Structure 1
Amino acid sequence: MAGLLGMLFTLAFVAFYFVAMWKIFTKAGQPGWGSLVPIYNLYLMVKIAKRPDWWIILALIPILNLITIVLIFDIAKHFGRGVGFALGMLFLPFIFFPILAFGEAQYDATPLAA
């Protein structure tokens, strides 16, 4: 019985996280269903962060995939959030991604200054 409850809790948690990511992608003007598709969701995150398309290749290479940290910081900036929020997205994604998704943050599509 405990195993079944644990599995149901995990499925509910994962479903909630998928809904939050769908909402974030939609807020950024991207297709929400794209958050569910591996690799394609990375492509859309690169677009949301306003980084060059070739960053996808870097994100797929071990060690170089640490650039996904930069993507998270850029996404936070495009939603009007600061470094502290980006760190929250990095270390506590199950809390901060839903805050970004269901909060009042609006996506700003202007490119970031270098």
Structure 2
Amino acid sequence: MRRLFSLLLYFFLGLGVVVGLELLTTHYAVAQGSETIPPVLVGTALVFLIFFYIFFAFTMQTIATKLNIGNSWFAWIPLLNAWLWVKIAGRPDWWVILLFIPLVNLIISIIMLFDVPARLNKPSLLALLCLIPGFGIFIYLGILAFT
């Protein structure tokens, strides 16, 4: 099972890196009118991409473990982590489908951001931390996972 998990983790990490770099390349080339990207920009983007992915997956797994939700390792697998977040929020499984409907997903995500702190016996207003540009979601997840 661990071997399968490791293979899936490396596959999805690699896939995420390739897709992220492709998006970065396309955006930069259009903006600069050039087909080349400075290697420093690619390296920096790659480091941030990996850091964000690891941070979000680790905090989600920690929160799921605190709530005694089985298969907390789903936090590391794209799409399965959406199901895990629905379970963490205490909502029915079919809410995962709502996360893939444009505009509806925004409303559902906001509702779940307020549900998670309540499940951890913390004030629901912690979700307002997500309004802080750039760092709000990190503070929110850090408080939920590590306090």
The amino acid across from 1:17 in the alignment is F
* Residue 13 to residue 40, structure 1, CA distance change in 2 (3 Å): closer
- Give the structure-2-normalised TM-score: 0.59
Tell me whether 1:61 sits opposite 2:108 in the alignment: no
Q: In the TM superposition, what are the counterparts of 1:94-113 in structure 2 within 5 Å?
A: 94-103=138-147
Question: More helix by proportion, 1 or 2?
Answer: 2
Aligned residue-pair number? 103
**Aligned equivalent of 1:84, options 103, 125, 131:** 125
Taking every aligned residue pair, what percent have the same amino acid on both sides? 38
Post-superposition offset of 1:22: 1.7
2:27 — aligned with what?
none
More displaced, 86-95 or 47-56? 86-95
SS at match of 1:60: coil
Paired residues of 1:72 and 1:86 also in contact (CA < 8 A): yes
Counterpart-to-counterpart distance in 2, 1:90 and 1:46: 21
Structure 1: distance between partners of 2:111 and 2:92: 12
Q: Which residue of 1 aligns with 2:67?
A: 28
Structure 1 stretches of 4+ with a deviation exceeding 2 A read 1-9, 11-18
Between 1 and 2, higher relative CO (CA 8 Å, sep ≥ 6) is seen in 1
Say if 2:44 is the partner of 1:6.
yes
Q: Which runs of 5+ in 1 are unaligned?
A: 104-114
Q: Which runs of 5+ in 2 are unaligned?
A: 1-38
Question: Structure 1-normalised TM-score?
Answer: 0.73
Determine helix, strand or coil for the equivalent of 2:62: helix
